[in-house]
Chain A
Amino acid sequence: SFVLTQPPSVSVAPGKTATITCGGNNIGSKNVHWYQQKPGQAPVLVISYDSDRPSGIPERFSGSNSGDTATLTITRVEAGDEADYFCQVWDNRIDLLYVFGTGTKVTVL
């Protein structure tokens, strides 16, 4: 099955930029979606189709996707951005239609 690998943790100082990667074989050929999950809460979609922000998501959140790596970037990081982040792809060519990444814990120092 298709595997999406994320770093377990990323630490960033307030006001700086956090970069979260999602690695997968030729992931650039797929559309990647990103979710933010704060402790005790349900995930929230923050990026769809590699780089589209849903309504209500700050411009500080952006995404890109090329080759074997998709990236979620959070600029001007705030304390409220501390959360787990998951990437996800959909592929109707495989039995497991929806694949999630392993997740990255973002800690704001």
Chain B
Amino acid sequence: QLQLQESGPGLVKSSETLSLTCTVSGGSISSNNYYWGWIRQPPGRGLEWVGSIYYSGSTFYNPSLKSRLIISVDTSENQFSLRLTSVTAADTAVYYCARIGSGNLHSWFFELWGRGTLVTVSS
């Protein structure tokens, strides 16, 4: 059964870089049928799509984060990663990684999620 697990520092200082990795187990990240994505949720608030990546390296970013965001993939390690630069308190959130599928149709959704990791930006 495929599982996703986020890892990375739980505390990041303001103006520094937030780095997280999602490790995929029980299946290959190099699948033609899926994208892989990051979603975040500030405490007590709603969900926000951060960005997505295909195993080939093609990326799609939330326009509001695009200037500070890099998502990369390491197929040899079955992992994908997020780097968000110049963080502020507004970036404090639970960050989830997820597998994105389409059911072989024409829309995409987050069909499997990691448990999430809380990242707090401190001043």
Contact = CB atoms under 8 A, between A and B. Distances in A.
Interface of A: 30-31, 33, 35, 41-45, 48-49, 52, 54, 86, 88-90, 95-103
Contacts, number: 63
Interface of B: 37, 46-49, 52, 60, 62-63, 96, 103, 105-116
Given A30-B107, A49-B107, A97 B114 contact: no
Chain B CB count within 10 A is highest, among A30, A52, A98, for A98
Contacts of B109: 33, 45, 48, 88, 90
Given A33-B110, A100-B47, A100-B48, 8 more contacts: A43-B47, A45-B109, A88-B109, A97-B52, A98-B49, A98-B52, A100-B49, A102-B46
B108 to A, nearest CB: 4
A45 B48 contact: no
Nearest to A52: B103
Contacts of B37: 98
A102 B113 CA distance: 19
Contacts of A99: 49
Contacts of A52: 103
Top 3 nearest A-B pairs (CB, nearest first) are A31-B107, A98-B49, A33-B109
B46 A103 contact: yes
A5 to B, nearest CB: 11
A96 B61 CA distance: 8
Given A95-B63, A96-B63, A42 B46 contact: no
Contacts of A41: 115
B47 A103 contact: yes
Given A42-B113, A42-B115, A103-B47, A96 B107 contact: no
Given A42-B115, A54-B111, A96-B63, A49 B105 contact: yes
